[in-house]
Amino acid sequence: MGATFRPASRESSDRSAGDRLRHRQKVRRSIMDNIGDIVAEESIIGRSGDQVVKVPIRGIKEYQFIHGKNQPSVGEGAGDDLAEGDVIARKPGDAAGKPGQAGEEAGVDYYETDITLDELIDMMFEDLNLPDLERKQMSSIESLRNTKRKGYRKVGLRVRLDRRRTVRNKIRRSLSTSSRTDVANDERVPFRAEDLSYRHRTTEIHKESNAAVFCIMDTSGSMGTTKKYLARSFFFMLYQFVARRYEKVDVIFLSHDIDAREVTEDEFFHKGESGGTFVSSGYNKALEIITDRYHPDLWNVYAFHCSDGDNFASDNPSAIKSAQELCDACNMFGYGEIKPQRATAYGNSLSTFSRPSPPPISTRC
């Protein structure tokens, strides 16, 4: 009575694909609901689109009638010294932790799922309700394709068949394999596959030179999750916009209050300073770095500044002057203002910015 052994049938290899897809769709809805947290917390700028982001989300709950948690349970492994009343575990005190902390509620299971950055971008666009036109601009891949002729090949597309050369090949062949001299039209000599000659074309993608993106953020005052989300998605989308057009993109993060510092992405989003605001410090720092490392003749420079609009009035003239210089140095300079709901006097800053004319400055509130 031996057992039968057999190798796995190949068809069972991805039977779960359909169910996983359907589950993924449900999860996507759940991600959409949480997207603010995800984008605020993840280091997503500077990543390529197909990179995978691990997203902790709640599993889609499956319900049934169950008992509540205050029921006694039994475990094994007690030593002789364990006595009634001993506390063997204690939940951490403050439940108001970071998002993504393991849930305590009954039946909540947190686990990770993978989504690609492209999927995340799509979801963000959906969430932000951009009209189609802008979305297309942001997501289209700009490829400057030139087709250059590059010789001939024996295989190719029918439309590229070079008839003259093909006939010449045939004549050459039949001449060399027979003694006839007037073979061209007198008799039907069939073509052979080896006679066929196709024009060969290569696509040449016009390689742009490198790009540098300056992200300048005003870190005076507090930036809560929503503001971070807005700032982050602002920079993220602009970065993606640029990244899709260039081979190599450098990202430089500058945070400023009265002084400007070059920081890492993490610090950029996580350190909140307080204090006054000299917007010009940020611009000047950017200009400094440009002169140092990213000469506009060699680099395509983009600069984007995010602020809450509260600049010291005394700084405005020098801010505008620096902004003008930046405009000259950059392909595009963008300014975004994050406005709290109860906005007070900042109309000042905005209006002074709208005075300098080309290159265009985009504003988004």
Partner 1 sequence: MSHPGLDELREWDDRVVGLVDAFGLECAPQEFEICDHNDMLGYMAYSGMPSQYPHWSFGKAFEKQKTLYDHGVSGLPYEMVINSDPSLAYLMRDNSLGLNILTMAHVYGHNDFFRNNSTFVDTEPQYTLARFKSHAERIRSYVEDPVAGPTAVEATLDAAHALALNCQRNMSLRKTTRSEQQQRAIDMSTPPTDPNAAIHAPLSKEDPDLSRIPLEPEPDLLLFIRDYNPYLAEWQKDILTIVHEQAHYFIPQMETKIMNEGWASYWHYQVMSELDLPDDLRIEFMINHNQVIRPHPGGINPYHVGFRIWQAIYEREEGAGPIDHRRRDAGHHALFAARESDRDSSFLRRFLDRDLVRDLGLFEFTEKGRDTVVSKVADDQGWESVRDTLVASVGTGSLPVIEITDADFQGSRHLHLVHRYQGQELELPHARATMELLRTLWGRDVFLDTVLNEKPARLHCSEDGFSAESTDR
Under the criterion CB under 8 A, does residue 113 sit at the interface with partner 1?
yes
Find, among 232, 317, 235, 308, the residue nearest to 277 by Cα: 308
Under the criterion CB under 8 A, does residue 63 sit at the interface with partner 1?
yes
Number of residues that bind partner 1 (CB under 8 A): 62
Q: Which is nearer to partner 1, 6 or 158 (CB)?
A: 6
- Binding segment toward partner 1, per CB under 8 A, in 35-43, 82-90, 211-219, 303-311: 82-90
Half-sphere exposure of residue 291: CA atoms within 13 angstroms, side-chain side: 7
Half-sphere exposure of residue 56: CA atoms within 13 angstroms, side-chain side: 12
Distances (CA, A) of 188 to 152, 166, 191: 25, 15, 9
- Binding segment toward partner 1, per CB under 8 A, in 109-117, 196-204, 298-306, 335-343: 109-117
Question: Minimum Å distance from CB 47 to partner 1?
Answer: 20
Q: Which is nearer to partner 1, 60 or 144 (CB)?
A: 60
Question: Minimum Å distance from CB 207 to partner 1?
Answer: 37
Under the criterion CB under 8 A, does residue 71 sit at the interface with partner 1?
yes
Under the criterion CB under 8 A, does residue 29 sit at the interface with partner 1?
no
Q: Which is nearer to partner 1, 30 or 352 (CB)?
A: 30
d(CA 235, CA 306): 9
Do 239 and 249 contact (CB within 8 A), yes or no? Answer: yes
- The sign of the CA dihedral 176, 177, 181, 182 is negative
Question: Minimum Å distance from CB 15 to partner 1?
Answer: 6
Find, among 267, 237, 270, 241, the residue nearest to 252 by Cα: 267
Choose which of 31, 47, 100, 107 interacts with partner 1 (CB under 8 A): 107
- Binding segment toward partner 1, per CB under 8 A, in 102-110, 146-154, 161-169, 292-300: 102-110
- Paired residues of 109 in beta bridges: none
Question: Minimum Å distance from CB 49 to partner 1?
Answer: 22
Q: Which is nearer to partner 1, 16 or 140 (CB)?
A: 16
Cα 33 to chain centroid, rounded: 19
Q: Which is nearer to partner 1, 90 or 145 (CB)?
A: 90
Do 274 and 268 contact (CB within 8 A), yes or no? Answer: no
Under the criterion CB under 8 A, does residue 94 sit at the interface with partner 1?
no
Choose which of 33, 48, 60, 143 interacts with partner 1 (CB under 8 A): 60
Under the criterion CB under 8 A, does residue 50 sit at the interface with partner 1?
no
- Helix (H) or strand (E) holding 171, with range, is helix 163-177
Under the criterion CB under 8 A, does residue 12 sit at the interface with partner 1?
yes
d(CA 55, CA 110): 10
Under the criterion CB under 8 A, does residue 66 sit at the interface with partner 1?
yes
Under the criterion CB under 8 A, does residue 1 sit at the interface with partner 1?
yes
Question: Minimum Å distance from CB 97 to partner 1?
Answer: 14
Under the criterion CB under 8 A, does residue 91 sit at the interface with partner 1?
yes
Find, among 208, 224, 317, the residue nearest to 37 by Cα: 224
- Helix (H) or strand (E) holding 152, with range, is strand 145-153
Under the criterion CB under 8 A, does residue 6 sit at the interface with partner 1?
yes
Under the criterion CB under 8 A, does residue 20 sit at the interface with partner 1?
yes
* Strands of the sheet with 249-256, listed across from one edge: 260-263, 249-256, 211-218, 300-307, 332-337, 361-364
Q: Which is nearer to partner 1, 67 or 206 (CB)?
A: 67
Q: Which is nearer to partner 1, 51 or 291 (CB)?
A: 51
Q: Is 121 exposed, middle or buried (0-12, 13-18, 19+ CB in 10 A)?
A: buried
Question: Minimum Å distance from CB 116 to partner 1?
Answer: 15
Which tokens hold the place of 270? 């996580």
Q: Return residues touching partner 1 (CB under 8 A).
A: 1-9, 12-16, 18-26, 59-79, 82-91, 93, 105-107, 109, 111-113
